[in-house]
Structure 1
Amino acid sequence: MISYFRDYADLCFEAFGDRVKHWVTFSDPRAHAQAWHSYNSTWRGKQQGLVGISLNCDWGEPMDISSPKDIEAAERYLQFCLGWFANPIYAGDYPQVMKDRIGKKSAEQGLDMSRLPVFSLQEKSYIKGTSDFLGLGHYTTRYITERNYPSRQGPSYQNDRDLVELVDPNWPDLGSKWLYSVPWGFRRLLHFAQTQYGNPPIYVTENGASQKLHCTQLCDEWRIQYLKGYINEMLKEPLLSHMQMVTEIMVPTVCTLCILISAVLLLLLLRGQS
């Protein structure tokens, strides 16, 4: 399937690359790296476009911020969600916590090797760096705590994580049972992605709220509030970088202008006295 997808991507690059300058290989990943390399080696020089991927992840907040176990569980939640696919692209391998956890679980289940595939050195080098931007989908937030009871499930993604997801009953609920409006989680996820993966360009590729009520007239004030809250939180994160950029540029510029103006005024003063 990987080679088939690369051929399909090449067809799209050839047919639409003179107009399309931003490509998202997948909304959630599979054969991403070959498509990126194909564009990079064959089409980028002529078309000057960008190729990225789109990954979905909710924010995981520690249930008890003073509990090291809950903090570790929340980090594990994010690595099993976003890190599962972003880490190979930005660091060349699966997150260490995934390799450790799944390897341990696999051994407990009597397997000779981990259920998580192992990248060869060649594969690591081939996958790492295959993204010109990170597409990020996000909808809601969960409180995360360490699971302190044995799971009855067999081998599974849920069992490998060893954590419990909770919600605050005061969070506004929306049209889907899993969806709660928690704008502050969006900003924390954006900050996590920025710091975790070396501050890549981020495009928000998914966000929104499902239908809450069945009505014949306009009745989506709740959706307006959802989007307003999330957009405002999104704007806060780039604002910090923008303010830093403004500070780095404006402060030296203003100081230089002040010196020049002072010199001109001094010259005028001396000329007037003479």
Structure 2
Amino acid sequence: MIDFFNDYANLCFEKFGDRVKHWITFNNPWAHATAWHTYDRLWRSRQKGMVGISITSEWGEPVDITSQKDIEAAERYIQFNLGWFANPIFNGDYPQVMKDCIGRKSSLEGLSSSRLPAFTPLEKHFIKGTSDFFGLGHFTTRYITHKNYHYSKGPSYHTDRDLVELVDPQWPDPGSEWLYAVPWGFRRILNFIKSRYGNPRIYVTENGVSEKWQCTELCDKWRIQYMNNYVNEILKDPLINHMEMVTEIVVPTVCTLCILLSAILLMFLLRRQ
């Protein structure tokens, strides 16, 4: 399938690359790096475009922020969700917590090796760095608490994580059983990506909400509120951006004003003399 997809991607680059400058190989990924290398090798110098990937993930917040177990469970939630694909692409390997958890459960199940495949050194080198931007799909958030699942329950993505997902009954419910409006989770996952993956360029490729009311006419008030709240979270600058603003805008502006005031004061003094 990798070769088939690469042939298809290469054809798209060839036919549309003179006009299309931003490519997403997959929305929710299963194969990616080969197509990126094909573009990088054959088309980038001529077409000057960008190739990335879109990963959909919720944010996980610890139920008890004073509990180390809950904090670690929330980290596992994010790493098993977002990190599963982002970490190999940006850092070269599966998240360590995934390797530890699945390796431990695999050993308890009597397996001689982990159920999570291991990348060879060549594969790590081939995969790492194969994204020119971070495409993110994000909709909602979960509270996370630690829970041990016995290996006798059988191998499962969900039991490997040793956690439980919860929701706050106060969160607005738009009608879809999995989707709750939690705008602050959007900002936290953006900051997580910024800090964990080297501050990449981020494109939000998916975000939106269902409408629970049955209307004979268009009723989008809830959707407008959801989008407004989530976009406002994007617009809140992180501290580093405030520091950049101070360095690049405030300091030069203050210096310029000081120079102007000094010139005016000097002119005033000269005129008095």
**Structure 2 residue identity aligned to 1:109:** E
**Structure 2 residue identity aligned to 1:57:** S
Quote the sequence identity (%): 62
2:245 matched to which residue of 1? 246
Retained in 2: the 8 A contact 1:183–1:233?
yes
Please state if 1:48 is matched with 2:48. Answer: yes
User: Take 1:215 and 1:181, find their aligned partners in 2: how far apart are those partners?
Assistant: 21
Retained in 2: the 8 A contact 1:190–1:237?
no
Structure 2 portions without partners, runs of 5+: none
Residue by residue over 1:230-253, the C-alpha shift from the partner in whole angstroms, topping out at 9 and shown as x without a partner, is 111121146x55433321112331
User: Take 1:164 and 1:269, find their aligned partners in 2: how far apart are those partners?
Assistant: 72
Counting only pairs closer than 5 Å after superposition, residues 40-189 of structure 1 correspond to structure 2 as 40-148=40-148, 150=150, 153-189=153-189
**Structure 2 residue identity aligned to 1:106:** S
Give how far 1:151 is off.
6.5
1:28 matched to which residue of 2? 28
Give how far 1:256 is off.
3.4
**Structure 2 residue identity aligned to 1:251:** V
1:235 matched to which residue of 2? 235
Give how far 1:153 is off.
3.0
Structure 1 stretches of 4+ moved >4 Å: none
**Structure 2 residue identity aligned to 1:39:** Y
Q: Is the alpha carbon distance of 1:215 and 1:272 closer, same or farther for their aligned partners in structure 2, counting shifts above 3 Å?
A: closer
Q: TM-score, normalised by structure 1?
A: 0.93
1:9 matched to which residue of 2? 9
The secondary structure found in structure 1 opposite 2:204 is strand
The secondary structure found in structure 1 opposite 2:210 is coil
Q: Is the alpha carbon distance of 1:237 and 1:270 closer, same or farther for their aligned partners in structure 2, counting shifts above 3 Å?
A: closer
Structure 1 portions without partners, runs of 5+: none
Give how far 1:219 is off.
2.0
Larger mean Cα displacement after TM superposition, 184-193 or 259-268: 259-268
Retained in 2: the 8 A contact 1:144–1:165?
yes
Retained in 2: the 8 A contact 1:191–1:237?
no
Give how far 1:220 is off.
2.5
Give how far 1:255 is off.
4.1
**Structure 2 residue identity aligned to 1:193:** I
User: Take 1:154 and 1:126, find their aligned partners in 2: how far apart are those partners?
Assistant: 33
Retained in 1: the 8 A contact 2:149–2:160?
no
Q: Is the alpha carbon distance of 1:111 and 1:152 closer, same or farther for their aligned partners in structure 2, counting shifts above 3 Å?
A: closer
**Structure 2 residue identity aligned to 1:227:** M
User: Take 1:27 and 1:153, find their aligned partners in 2: how far apart are those partners?
Assistant: 31
Residue by residue over 1:97-126, the C-alpha shift from the partner in whole angstroms, topping out at 9 and shown as x without a partner, is 000110111111111111111011111111
1:191 matched to which residue of 2? 191
User: Take 1:39 and 1:181, find their aligned partners in 2: how far apart are those partners?
Assistant: 38
User: Take 1:258 and 1:235, find their aligned partners in 2: how far apart are those partners?
Assistant: 28
Retained in 2: the 8 A contact 1:187–1:237?
no
Give how far 1:266 is off.
5.9
Retained in 2: the 8 A contact 1:83–1:94?
yes
User: Take 2:262 and 2:224, find their aligned partners in 1: how far apart are those partners?
Assistant: 54
Q: Is the alpha carbon distance of 1:168 and 1:263 closer, same or farther for their aligned partners in structure 2, counting shifts above 3 Å?
A: closer
Retained in 1: the 8 A contact 2:50–2:132?
yes
The secondary structure found in structure 2 opposite 1:227 is helix
Retained in 1: the 8 A contact 2:183–2:233?
yes
User: Take 1:102 and 1:63, find their aligned partners in 2: how far apart are those partners?
Assistant: 23
Larger mean Cα displacement after TM superposition, 204-213 or 57-66: 204-213
User: Take 1:205 and 1:126, find their aligned partners in 2: how far apart are those partners?
Assistant: 25
